[in-house]
């Protein structure tokens, strides 16, 4: 049996402005609150072995029982990375999956072999992620995370913020946390 994605972890949407999108999501869908990470501090950002950049802001929230991420692009290079972040907004940018290290590595290789190439890899603290171009198949990318406690801890903060949320303070800084 070939490597499988498993259950989705979260869905990420590329947006023009996080603040305006949060306002609409709260008003129209009751989503929130959102934890904002400005200038996501990615490390060791690479695209097919060469240095790359995917400078962006992210806001993480809860919507109808599931975590979502809002991405606001600042800058992306080289062109193969920039093109994956270009296009109309808002739109689904990626669906993320979390797998144990060995399974994540095998899945990444299998996706490449199946024509869903990795175009970006990065770390955020202990969080190790890759992005794969699945646009021709799904209309969006896939993000594959190695399963680490920091990732679960951050998304637990996002979920806990939504428990009993009264609608106040819908966009909050995510200070002192590692995001994924």
pLDDT of residue 175: 76
Confidence of residue 8 (pLDDT cuts 50, 70, 90): very high
Domain-wise residue ranges, the chain = 10-165
Residue holding tokens 């869908």?
29
Cβ(78)–Cβ(54) below 8 Å:
no
Domain 10-165 falls in which CATH fold? 2,3-Dihydroxybiphenyl 1,2-Dioxygenase; domain 1 (3.10.180)
Cβ(150)–Cβ(103) below 8 Å:
no
Q: What predicted TM-score, i.e. pTM, was given to this entire model?
A: 0.94
Tell me the Cα Rg of the chain: 16
Confidence of residue 179 (pLDDT cuts 50, 70, 90): low
Q: Integer distance in angstroms from the first to the last C-alpha of the chain? A: 28
CA-CA distance, 18 to 32, in Å (whole number)? 12
Q: What is the per-residue pLDDT across 48-93, written as a single tens digit (0 to 9) for each?
A: 999 999 999 999 999 999 999 999 999 999 999 999 999 999 999 9
Cβ(175)–Cβ(161) below 8 Å:
no
Residue holding tokens 């989705």?
8
Cβ(13)–Cβ(93) below 8 Å:
yes
For 9, 57, 69, the CA distances from 79, given in Å and listed in that order, are 28, 20, 23
For residues 74, 76, 79, 83, the Cα torsion angle rounded to the nearest 10 degrees is -60
Q: What is the per-residue pLDDT across 138-171, written as a single tens digit (0 to 9) for each?
A: 999 999 999 999 999 999 999 999 999 999 999 9
Mean pLDDT in residue range 111-139: 96
């Amino acid at each position: 049996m070939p490597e499988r994605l498993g259950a989705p972890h979260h869905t990420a949407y590329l947006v023009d402005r996080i603040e305006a999108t949060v306002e609409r999501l709260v008003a129209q869908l009751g989503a929130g609150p959102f934890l904002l990470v400005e200038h996501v501090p990615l490390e060791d950002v690479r695209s097919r072995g060469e240095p790359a950049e995917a400078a962006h802001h992210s806001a993480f929230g809860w919507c109808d029982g599931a975590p979502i991420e809002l991405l606001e692009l600042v800058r992306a290079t080289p062109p193969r990375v920039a093109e994956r972040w270009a296009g109309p907004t808002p739109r689904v940018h990626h669906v993320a999956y979390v797998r144990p290290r060995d399974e994540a590595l095998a899945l990444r290789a299998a996706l490449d072999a199946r024509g869903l190439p990795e175009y970006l890899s990065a770390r955020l603290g202990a969080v190790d992620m890759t992005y794969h171009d699945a646009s021709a198949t799904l209309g969006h990318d896939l993000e594959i995370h190695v399963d680490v406690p920091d990732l679960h801890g951050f998304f637990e903060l996002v979920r806990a913020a939504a428990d009993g949320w009264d609608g106040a303070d819908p966009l909050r800084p995510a200070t002192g946390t590692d995001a994924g």
